[in-house]
């Protein structure tokens, strides 16, 4: 940051961070709850708070068991490992987190190839899956697993409809394939649709959920499935280095979040729509997709207006942080630490800054590469 930036930022009383829903900080009440949590050694399976969380989460999704792990990535990669053998293949949507944003985990950790299926809307329908199972022949990998994502991050935080998931489940079962759901933001789908956890849970053999995104916990995810699957998952968690000791301290944050931070996601969705409406009012900005269903707002910048970095920088100067995710592509995300005032101010700044086209172009170039 150069000194003039500092002066500009100083005028901004408060920064609104819309880069991701992972930037939330534990609230004072959450911290108190964490402080008071009874703990034990969870590798010995003796942490009462972790037990309570695992039981609650399993029950919430109508499954037998759950396992607390450090991250959503680990939950997904443990699932891939327990559902497959080396040389197997999994089917996934081409822009899914498991395929794109987990550092090549299926190949590196499980010896599994991904068959990414490109879609224009992120929806892995049975129509699109049909015909993608390899014939039973020694030349081919063995198709073993379908991975879904709900809400779908790259598809704009879109909710994958329950009926689609039910259809995929039926199709997969009839072909002997397992179904895993990356439900990092399944909470958002639950609140957006009113369809409860057990109904989503019924469509899958395993699912992962994150507590460290919209729910506002500092860390932690759960993998959910049958007792047998979770017993294998426990061994893989140890193998991947995810066995934790007095993990009740962080499991308590997840328990607190489950109790207090699920229903309020509706507020994040309202705030996201407010920001999306402001963006839709700006010439040269296109919402992708045009409809915002949950807390993610993805949008494209017309080169006439500038680049994604120009937009990121112009908003940063006004105390609004968003993410440029490609040359012309941006993302803004609402979450627990975005108040109604913050959301209103973000919408106001976006309208004011992005509607004055001439001030945007080239702004992002003034900064040193990698300085953000």
Ligand X SMILES: *Cc1c(COP(=O)(O)O)cnc(C)c1O
Q: How far is CA 362 from the centre of its chain?
A: 31
Closer residue to ligand X in complex, CB, 90/210: 210
Minimum separation from the CB atom of position 16 to ligand X (A): 20
Q: What are the residue ranges of helices labelled H in the chain?
A: 3-11, 28-35, 48-60, 72-83, 97-100, 105-110, 126-129, 162-174, 186-193, 197-201, 227-239, 248-260, 265-280, 308-316, 340-355
Distance (Å, rounded) from C-alpha 224 to C-alpha 200?
12
Closer residue to ligand X in complex, CB, 60/99: 99
- Residue of 49, 54, 143, 221 that binds ligand X (CB under 6 A): 221
The reply on whether position 93 binds ligand X by CB under 6 A is: no
The reply on whether position 91 binds ligand X by CB under 6 A is: no
Label the pairing between strands 285-287 and 221-225: unpaired
Closer residue to ligand X in complex, CB, 45/121: 121
- Which residue carries 């992972």 as its tokens? 22
| CB neighbour list of residue 90: distance below 8 Å, 6 or more residues apart | 80, 83, 84, 98, 106, 112, 113, 114, 115, 143, 144, 145, 146, 147
| CB neighbour list of residue 97: distance below 8 Å, 6 or more residues apart | 72, 76, 149, 153, 154, 182, 184
Binding to ligand X (CB under 6 A) within 6-65 occurs at none
Tokens of 16: 């609104």
- Residue of 27, 71, 119, 199 that binds ligand X (CB under 6 A): 71
- Which residue carries 């993998």 as its tokens? 223
- Residue of 16, 42, 49, 72 that binds ligand X (CB under 6 A): 72
> Interacting stretch for ligand X, rule CB under 6 A, among 67-75, 194-202, 304-312, 358-366?
67-75
The reply on whether position 335 binds ligand X by CB under 6 A is: no
Distance (Å, rounded) from C-alpha 288 to C-alpha 330?
10
Closer residue to ligand X in complex, CB, 210/360: 210
> Interacting stretch for ligand X, rule CB under 6 A, among 44-52, 66-74, 190-198, 254-262?
66-74
DSSP assignments along 39-57, one per residue: ---GGGT--HHHHHHHHHH
The reply on whether position 149 binds ligand X by CB under 6 A is: yes
Closer residue to ligand X in complex, CB, 158/273: 158
Please report, to the nearest 10 degrees, the dihedral formed by the alpha carbons of residues 123, 125, 127, 129 taken in order: 100
Closer residue to ligand X in complex, CB, 155/315: 155
Closer residue to ligand X in complex, CB, 71/359: 71
Q: What binding mask, one character per residue, do residues 340-359 give for ligand X by CB under 6 A, x or -?
A: --------------------
Tokens of 310: 């120009």
- Residue 279: phi, psi to the nearest 5? -65, -40
Closer residue to ligand X in complex, CB, 213/273: 213
Closer residue to ligand X in complex, CB, 97/237: 97
> Interacting stretch for ligand X, rule CB under 6 A, among 72-80, 83-91, 168-176, 231-239?
72-80
Minimum separation from the CB atom of position 275 to ligand X (A): 19
Q: CA 158 → CA 65, 121, 137, 231, 253, distances in Å?
A: 27, 8, 37, 32, 27
Minimum separation from the CB atom of position 136 to ligand X (A): 31
DSSP state of 152: B
Q: Which residue is nearest to ligand X (CB)?
A: 72
Closer residue to ligand X in complex, CB, 217/275: 217
Minimum separation from the CB atom of position 237 to ligand X (A): 14
Contact indicator for 224, 207 with CB cutoff of 8 Å: yes
Distance (Å, rounded) from C-alpha 319 to C-alpha 96?
31
The reply on whether position 73 binds ligand X by CB under 6 A is: yes
The reply on whether position 97 binds ligand X by CB under 6 A is: yes
The reply on whether position 334 binds ligand X by CB under 6 A is: no
Interface residue list for ligand X (CB under 6 A): 71-73, 76, 97, 149, 153, 182, 184, 210, 212, 221
């Amino acid at each position: 940051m150069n000194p003039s930036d500092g002066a500009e930022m100083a005028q901004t009383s408060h920064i609104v961070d819309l880069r991701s829903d992972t930037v939330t900080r534990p609230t004072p009440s959450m911290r108190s709850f964490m402080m008071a949590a009874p703990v034990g050694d969870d590798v010995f399976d003796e942490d009462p708070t972790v037990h309570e969380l695992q039981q609650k989460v399993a029950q919430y999704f109508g499954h037998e068991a759950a396992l607390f792990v450090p991250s959503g990535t680990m939950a997904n990669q443990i699932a891939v490992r327990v559902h497959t053998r080396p040389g197997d293949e999994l089917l996934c949507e081409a822009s899914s987190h498991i395929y794109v944003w987990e550092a090549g985990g299926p190949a590196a950790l499980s010896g599994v190839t991904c068959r990414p299926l490109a879609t224009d809307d992120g929806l892995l329908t049975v129509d699109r899956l049909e015909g993608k199972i390899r014939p039973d022949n020694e030349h081919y990998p063995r198709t073993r697993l379908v991975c879904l994502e709900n809400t779908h991050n790259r598809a704009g935080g879109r909710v994958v409809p329950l009926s689609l998931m039910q259809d995929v489940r039926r199709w997969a079962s009839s072909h002997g394939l397992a179904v895993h759901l990356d439900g990092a933001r399944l909470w958002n789908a639950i609140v957006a649709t009113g369809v409860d956890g057990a109904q989503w849970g019924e469509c899958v053999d395993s699912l992962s959920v994150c507590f460290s995104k919209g729910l506002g916990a500092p860390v932690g995810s759960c993998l959910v499935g049958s007792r047998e699957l979770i017993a294998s998952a426990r061994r893989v968690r140890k193998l991947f280095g995810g066995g934790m000791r007095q993990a009740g301290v962080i499991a308590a944050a997840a328990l607190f979040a489950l109790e207090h931070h699920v229903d309020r996601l509706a507020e994040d969705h309202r705030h996201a729509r407010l920001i999306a409406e402001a963006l839709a009012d700006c010439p040269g900005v296109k919402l992708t997709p045009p409809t915002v269903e949950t807390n993610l707002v993805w949008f494209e910048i017309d080169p006439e207006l500038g680049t994604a970095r120009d937009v990121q920088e112009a908003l940063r100067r006004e105390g609004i942080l968003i993410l440029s995710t490609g040359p012309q592509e941006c993302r803004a995300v609402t979450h627990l630490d975005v108040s109604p005032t913050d959301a209103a101010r973000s919408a106001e700044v976006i309208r004011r800054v992005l509607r004055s086209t001439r001030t945007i172009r080239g702004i992002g170039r003034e900064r040193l590469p990698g300085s953000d």
